[in-house]
Amino acid sequence: TNNDRKAVLNVILSVFKIIPLLGSTLNYCLKTDFIDYEDSIIEETANINCIDYIITNNAKHFKGTKSIIISPKEFCTLLNIC
């Protein structure tokens, strides 16, 4: 239901920190060896902001990152909302 979706979103928003995306980060990521530009932006933004987790279905794209990589399902289980 709509109320269920709102409840889940409220839990998620209470956990996430909204962080800025800087132009300097975009320029830096253009110079990296990362295969996927968007993933490079995610990783570099996470590193700059000391983010604990990256939630993705593409864990293999983030090998060697400083953040913990988990799937959306693992994240839901971690929050006990699945």
Whether the per-residue pLDDT at 3 is higher than 80: the answer is yes
Give mean pLDDT, residues 50-73. 89
Give the pLDDT band of residue 8 (cuts 50, 70, 90).
confident
pLDDT digits (tens, 9 = 90+) for 15-59: 787 888 999 999 999 998 888 899 999 999 999 999 889 999 988
Top pLDDT among 64 and 5 is at 5
pLDDT of residue 82: 66
Written as one string, the DSSP assignment of the chain is -HHHHHHHHHHHHHH-------HHHHHHHHTS--SSHHHHHHHHHHHHTT-SEEE-S-GGGGTT-SSEEE-HHHHHHHHT--
Give the separation between CA 1 and CA 4, rounded to whole angstroms: 5
- Rounded to 5 degrees, φ, ψ at 51 are -80, 135
**Which token pair is 75?**
């994240």
